[in-house]
Amino acid sequence: GRTVMLAVDHGYFLGPTTKLESPRKTIAPLIPNADSLMLTRGVLRTSVDANVDTPIVLRISGGTSILKELSNEGITTSIEEAVRLNACAVALSIFVGAEYEKQTLMGLASVVDRAQEYSMPVLAVTAVGKEMARDARYLGLCCRIAAELGANFVKSYYCEDFKKVVEGCPVPIVIAGGKKIEEFEALDMSYKAVQEGAAGVDMGRNIWQSDHPVAMIKAVRAVVHKNATPKEAFDLFNSLKQGKEA
Ligand code: 5RP
């Protein structure tokens, strides 16, 4: 009932993000430790071998860049294309409280309608605008709206009183890692999230921007799948980064 999703979709609005400049190089060593890969069709086509059988969560929203209003997203990839690409779920962002809130929420509702025809699960990514507080009240609002509109699971951020966000959301929540922080802090955040009811993580930068990404994803797995404490997971990270199998 838990998952470690590897988020490598950042280029869709950030371009060649640090340490994801060459997606194939970043993704390849992490694949064996990811329960799914979250990416765009461009990166799937060019940077993941066709014989990889790790489930794909296909990002199907975008159309804007870091240089413009982020919430002005639309649907970039059809459900039929997601089926052709053998995706196991589709993901799109919603921007609650932002300028294009309605456009993104109606986009979610419409994607859910179309995805239902193929029993394709939909992940709503509760994207937070620069000026919005990442607190339980706001994130709880985003997650609940996503679930009400039919999302099968929701991606959010960890926050104080995260339990309240979970309680108010009738579908599973996975957390994003956010900007790169120290490895121990990222493991601690993941631990608190799953202990407070998250179904796992959909993490990117805190894995592949680490100097030891394979050790880090293994440590995150220990937290998510084995309930390792932050200290246990950090010890595992340290021993793996020195090349020792723990
Ligand atoms: C952007 C996304 C990213 O996948 C998300 O932010 C997860 O990555 P990170 O752990 O680096 O925050 O969906 O909208």
pLDDT at 182: 98
**How sure is the predictor about 163, in pLDDT bands with cuts at 50, 70 and 90?**
very high
Q: Which residues line ligand 1 (CB under 6 A)?
A: 7, 9-10, 38, 93, 125, 127, 176-178, 202-206
Which residues, in sequence order, are CB contacts of 174 under 8 Å at separation 6+? 3, 5, 123, 153, 154, 155, 156, 198, 199, 200, 201, 202
Confidence band, pLDDT 50/70/90 cuts, at residue 244: low
Residue nearest atom 5 of ligand 1, based on CA coordinates:
176
| Residue 192 appears among annotated catalytic residues | no
C-alpha 34/C-alpha 6 separation (Å) is 6
Return the closest-CA partner of residue 41 out of 6, 84, 3, 74.
84
Return the pLDDT at 243. 82
What integer is the mean pLDDT of 4-9?
98
Instruction: Give the pLDDT score at 133.
Output: 86
Q: What is the pLDDT of residues 49-101, one digit of tens each?
A: 999 999 999 999 999 999 999 999 999 999 999 999 999 999 999 999 999 99
In the chain, what percentage of residues exceed pLDDT 70?
A: 99
- SS3 of 98, please? coil
* pLDDT-based confidence at residue 246 (cuts at 50, 70, 90): very low
114-160: pLDDT as tens digits: 999 999 999 999 988 777 789 999 999 999 999 999 999 999 999 99
The reported pLDDT for the residue numbered 57 is 98
CA of 232 to the centre of ligand 1 (A): 25
pTM of the entire structure? 0.96
Q: Which of 42, 87, 88 is nearest to 62 (CA)?
A: 42
User: DSSP secondary structure string, 230-244?
Assistant: HHHHHHHHHHHHTT-
Model pLDDT for residues 176-229, shown as the tens digit of each residue: 999 999 999 999 999 999 999 999 999 999 999 999 999 999 999 999 999 999
Report the separation in Å between the CA atom of 7 and the middle of ligand 1, taken as the mean of its atom positions: 6
Q: Count how many Cα atoms sit within 13 Å of the Cα of residue 213 in the half-sphere of its side chain.
A: 23
